[in-house]
Amino acid sequence: MSDGAYTVQTVSTAELPPAERAGFWSAHVSGSHCRLDCRFPRGGDFLGGATRQRGGPYQLIDFWSERVGYSRTAGQARQEPDEDYRLLVPVDGGLTLRQDGAEVRLTSGTGGLFTPAEPFELVQDAPARALVLTIPAQEVNGRLGRRTPLSARFDMTTGLARVVDGMIRSAYEERDRLSARQFEVVCDRVAELMCMVVDADDRPGAPGHLAEVEAMVRRFVRANAADPDLTGATVAHRLGWSLRQVQLALQHAGTTPRELIREERLRLVRDRLRSPRHRHRPITELAHASGFSSASALSTAFRHRYGVSPRELRAAAFGEPSGRPRPGRA
């Protein structure tokens, strides 16, 4: 246990002249974390703020800002090594984390674990607020006996991860009432529990893990069903998991990535066929707009799933004769 001092410091660019804000924020972020580059959407008039807690080997930062992008290059990682992990927990808004060929979208209710020992990008495309906890590398690697996968993403709304989320938020909320020893003890427990979350998440056969992956995959596929390039591999890449993890989770639920994508596309077409807003759109146009390669491919899959053709379902929905096509309809 460290006997080092415990400090709480708050900064804000609002207190500076507009022309100095971007430069100040760049220096502040590099000084608080590691050397990296910042990309700002407009000039130097940038609004952002942060509260930094430090005690022993840990630091917890609550930050908020307007749009901004961060990147750490291979040269920066090589010249100024930093092996410690960062646990990023969004509070409001969202951030996109890219590292080691993977991309994960982090929003409230999720968390991301990564290390600046490797190049990364962190993109905030709208105003956002998040908590980021620095965890010493030995606290992670020692407990797991290896390095954890980069850019790991976790559901922080259930199970042990929810406990971790609550502890991090409480440590920030009680920042002015904690001693150095208390802060370090809390962070030690968070590191220990987070390793348990990582270890459980790495066991693809764990029922709890499979259910969480399945739920997230289903939400993602439903939101992106119209994308004609959507596949199991792209779903896995966008969510930050391996294709095998996605396949196992859906297999446990009795389906496959391909079947799930087809099912969500058919549901999308069915809903549009019943909607007055899409009543006059040709079936061919609906097929392409819903991710199908052609109207015939849609018709075959639709009849197999619902027992009627797209045209017949639309006619029934609006009380029209199914054999009399509306002018302009494919």
CATH at residue 138 = 2.60.120.10
Q: Which of 202, 223, 250 is the last residue of a domain?
A: 202
Buried b (16+ CB within 10 A) or exposed e, 111-135: bbbbbbbbbbbbbbeeebbbbbbbb
Q: 0.75 cut: is pTM over it?
A: no
Question: Cα separation of 319 and 314, whole Å?
Answer: 8
Phi/psi region, residue 34 (left: phi>0; alpha: psi -120 to 50; beta: rest), is beta
* Residues 34 and 52 placed together within one structural domain of the fold: yes
Q: Give Dmax over CA atoms of the chain in angstroms.
A: 83
Please indicate whether residue 28 or residue 204 has the higher confidence score (pLDDT): 28
Asked if 95 and 122 touch (Cβ cutoff 8 Å), the reply is yes
Could you give the C-alpha distances from 216 to 20, 241, 258, 321, in angstroms and in order? 41, 11, 16, 41
Each residue of 237-288: pLDDT tens digit? 888 777 888 888 888 778 899 999 999 999 999 999 999 999 999 999 999 9
* Residues 192 and 88 placed together within one structural domain of the fold: yes
Asked if 73 and 118 touch (Cβ cutoff 8 Å), the reply is no
Question: Cα separation of 62 and 131, whole Å?
Answer: 5
What are the backbone angles phi and psi of residue 5, rounded to the nearest 5°? -75, 155
Question: Cα separation of 163 and 186, whole Å?
Answer: 12
* Residues 67 and 146 placed together within one structural domain of the fold: yes
β-pair partners for 90: 130
Q: Which domain holds residue 166?
A: 6-202
Q: Indicate the number of domains in the chain.
A: 2
What are the backbone angles phi and psi of residue 202, rounded to the nearest 5°? -80, -5
When the pLDDT of each residue in the chain is averaged and rounded to a whole number, the result is 87
β-pair partners for 234: none
CA dihedral 139, 162, 120, 98 (to 10 degrees): 150
β-pair partners for 71: 37, 121
Question: Cα separation of 67 and 123, whole Å?
Answer: 8
Q: Among residues of the chain, what percentage have pLDDT more than 90? A: 62
* Residues 195 and 299 placed together within one structural domain of the fold: no
Residue 327 lies in a domain: no
Each residue of 135-145: pLDDT tens digit? 998 888 767 65
